[in-house]
Structure 1
Amino acid sequence: MSEDALPGRVRIHEVGPRDGLQNEKAVIPVEVKAEFIHRLAAAGLTTIEATSFVHPRWVPQLADAEELFPRLADLGDVRLPALVPNARGLERALALGVREVAVFASATESFAKANLNRTVDESLAMFEPVVARATAAGVPVRGYVSMCFGDPWEGAVPPERVVRVARRLLDLGCAELSLGDTIGVATPGQVTALLAALGAAGVPAGRLAVHFHDTYGQALANTLTALRHGVTTVDASAGGLGGCPFAKSATGNLATEDLLWMLEGLGIHTGVDLRRLTATSLWLAERLGRPSPSRTVRALASQLDQEPTGATGPFRPSPAPSHKEP
C-alpha cells in the first residue's frame, strides 16, 4: 500500500471486556460480562478480547476467567483471545480451549517493573517459553508492546527502543504486534516515525495493530495516520471503557463507536453495526452506573431512543467512495 492510501477494510480488535473492565473499581458479575461479549458479537465484532488469566490478586476484576469462558462456547467463529502473563496463565487458558492468547511486554524499564515486576529483558525471557508452548499447541500469540510513545516515569520513548522489543517478540514467534500508546500522549508525527522505524527494521505493517488511548484527544488522528501507513488492525473499546491499572495517568481507550463513525465516513468496511454497538454500550453504561465517555455514543443515544426496532439508522455518516481492498 502506498503512503497516504487508505485500506478498504479494517479489522477491529475489541478490547472492552478485558482492557475496559479490568480498570473498573467494582467487580462486574460474570453474567453481565458474558452478555456484554454476546452483544458485541451480535453487533458484528469478530475479534473480542474476552479476559485475562492474570493472578486474581493483581486484577481481581478478571478473576472469573474460568467461569466466563464456558459461557462463550456458543459464539462459534468469533475470535476470543485472552491475555496470559506467564506459563501458568497459558496453561489455565489452554485447559479451557482458548484458541488465541496475548502476552504484554513493555518498551520501557519503568513500566516493565510496575506491570510485571521484571526488567524488559527478564519479561521477554519469561514470554519465550509461553510463546513456544502456545505455538506448539497451534494457538497464535499476539504481542502487546506498551509505552510505545511516552512513559509517565521516563518521558518520550525513542522509536529504537520500541523496535528492539517488537523485533524480539516477532523472533519469539508472535503472530501479531499491538503498539500501545498506554498513556495517550502520541501524535501523528510520532506514529509516522515509529512505523517508519519498524518498517526499516523489517517489521511489516501487516503484522501490526495500533492501540491508542485518548488522553489528549489524538486517538482518531493517530489511527488515521497508522491506516495511511498500511496498518489495518485497530484496537478499540466499546463505549471508550478502560485505562491501565498500572499507569495511573492512562485514560480511556479509543471508543469503538468513535472509530466506526470515522471509518464509515471514509468508506472503510468493518462489518460492525454502529447502532447495535451503541445500544450495547448504553446497556453496559446503565450497569456501570455512569454515562459512556464515547462522544459518538452520547451523540447517538437520543436518536437511538427515537428509532423503531429494526430501523436502518439515520445517523451513519455519509461515506466517501469505497476504496479498493488492500
Structure 2
Amino acid sequence: MLSIRNIVKQYAGHRALDDVSLEVESGKIFGLLGPNGAGKTSLIRIINQITAPDSGEILFNGVKLNQSHIERIGYLPEERGLYKKMEIGEQMIYLARLKGLTRDDATQKLKFWFKKLDMESWWKKKIEELSKGMQQKAQFVATVLHEPDLIILDEPFSGFDPVNAELIKDEILELNRKGATILFSTHRMESVEELCDSIALIHKSHKILDGRVKHIRNSYKNETYLVEYTGDQLAFDGSQPFEVISETAGEDNSNTIKIKLSDNSANDVLQYLLPKTRINMLQEVIPSMNEIFIEKVNLIN
C-alpha cells in the first residue's frame, strides 16, 4: 500500500529523517518503532501530508501521494486533537464530513461505534468532561469512522486501562481482518509481538532494521535453550555438550538451566541428560522484540 522511498526531512539544525525507505504491505499491520526523537512522528506527519519531505517520495497504491488520498487515511495522533468544548456527537460528524461522508452516513456509523464501544451516553458530552482514556476512545472512533483504507495509530493505547486497551486491540485486529492496512507506532513491545506482521526500527533519523516480526526474531536466535528437569540438581564438570549459562532451582523438585550450544544439537543435549534425570522441557530461547530493540539501539548509541 505504501512505498516510502528515500525520505529526507531536515529542520533547522536537525535532520529528522535521513534516506528512509519502507514498504508497508496492503492488508497488514506494520509497526513503526524507535526511541523518542528517532523520526517516527516526522515520517507519520509526511504520510498525512501535514508536512512535506525535502527529498524522496511516497507512493500510495502505486500513485504518488497527493491530496486525494487524505480521505482514505485515518490518523490517531499521540497528542489529543479534538475540540475540548464541542459536543462529541457533533464533533465526530463534523470530522467524518471532512473525510467525505454525508451527515446521514456519519450519524449512522457513529451510532454503530458508540453502541459497540459503550459510548451511547457520550453524544452530548464535551471532550473536557472525559478522562484521558475516554478521550482516547473518542479519538479512536473519529479515526476509523469513515472506514479508511490506511489507519495510522500513534501510541493508540496511551491512557487506557488494561480493559479498554484490550478492547481497542481487538477492534484494531477486526479492522485489519476486514481489509484495513494499519501503520502502528508504539513503544510497547508486547503490542508489537501481538499485533504486527512487520516492523521497521528507526533510530537517530535512520532505518536500522526492518522485516517480518517472525523472521527478525528468528534471525536473532543464538543457540540458547532452557531445560527444565526434575530431581536433584545436576553437577556439570565441563564434559557436557553445552555451556551452562545459569541454573535456577524451582518448586516441586524441579530445576531449570539455561544453556548455549556451539557445535552440538538439541538431540545431543537430550542424549546427555536423559540417562541422568527426567526432562520436563527443552525450549529454544527466541529473543523478544524488546530485547532486539534494546540491543540494536545500544549498538548505535
Instruction: Give the shorter-chain TM-score range.
Output: 0.3 to 0.5
Larger radius of gyration: 2
More helix by share: 1
Which has more strand, going by share of residues?
Answer: 2
Q: TM-score, normalised by structure 2?
A: 0.39
TM (norm. structure 1) is: 0.37
